[in-house]
Amino acid sequence: MQLGMVGLGRMGGNIVRRLLRNGHTAVVFDQDPKAVAALVQEGAVGADSLEDFVAKLELPRTAWVMLPAGDPTEVTVMTIAGLMQPDDVIIDGGNSFYKDDIRRAAALDAKGLHYVDVGTSGGVWGLERGYCMMIGGHKAAVDRLDPIFSTLAPGLGEVPRTPGRDGRDSRAEHGYIHAGPSGAGHFVKMIHNGIEYGLMQAYAEGFDILKHANSTELPEAQRFDLNIGDIAEVWRRGSVVSSWLLDLTATALAGDENLDAFSGHVADSGEGRWTLNAAIEEAIPAHVLSAALYARFRSRQEATYADKLLSAMRKGFGGHQEPK
């Protein structure tokens, strides 16, 4: 199946590579000609403008936009929509605000176009591991694109099957779901990222306590010089707190236990704030998630070892670099 991709950054480029390696074809465009040229070398068809990009797509067209949320995505989606024909599909695979998806879907529906929002998790590891996808949009459009989604998804892999799921939609077991109508995909991904903030903060604070277990504020008999890297490693194996985030933490600590390469200035990319807004609108208490977001704000004033660990995790799963 053919897919068009606009935005060839950390995730967009690797999504194309995973598709090419599994028998699909792709047309690609990016503001950086070098990014386009690199994928052309790997078998994609390059475009030098959005007009050229749309012209090279086969009917019915499918264009995936993988750009930062906000104006870059808004302008690109609406520009492509103006070049397309009824029954074409535009996918937003970035981290857009779900209410923007609802608005865009209505605008495109009036033109006879399909809009599909795909919350995409997998970061820089998705090329090899696959991408977990939470999809919103009309069923007919989502079903049409299933060959793309099934290729990008991780598949069953080595994860044990959950008892009691016989007869249910098998796509969830393979790493992707049709979450609901337009906006539902990014809504689920938004909450996913809000939870991610809380999980990361819990690890960071716990390791911060371990790191300072030798504090001179403690009675001498209660001081422990702990090997933080070894603790992260042993928890990966059989512990109830094992996770991919802990795997990334162990990797970071193995190379730099003091995390001297990190300042501890922890950014937030918007989803944590949107999650709390949703909690307020639904009158749902979210103590942990709100505390995790506020901790990131505080890190920009006075960073701790915990904040350095958060930065290390963000770099590990998403390639996020600290602000300079």
Q: Give residue 46's identity as a one-letter amino acid code.
A: G
| 294 phi/psi in degrees, rounded to 5 | -65, -30
C-alpha to C-alpha distances, 44 to 8, 53, 64, 264, nearest whole angstrom? 12, 12, 14, 39
Verify whether residue 196 is a known catalytic residue: yes
The single residue of 56, 139, 189, 217 carrying the catalytic annotation is 189
Cα–Cα distance, 176 to 310 (Å, whole number): 27
Cα–Cα distance, 33 to 30 (Å, whole number): 7
The single residue of 173, 196, 271, 322 carrying the catalytic annotation is 196
Strands 132-136 and 114-121: antiparallel
DSSP state at residue 322: P
Q: From start to end of the chain, where are the E strands?
A: 2-6, 25-29, 45-46, 62-65, 89-92, 114-121, 132-136, 176-180
Cα–Cα distance, 289 to 297 (Å, whole number): 13
Residues 324/265, Cβ–Cβ less than 8 Å:
no
Catalytically active residues are 189, 196
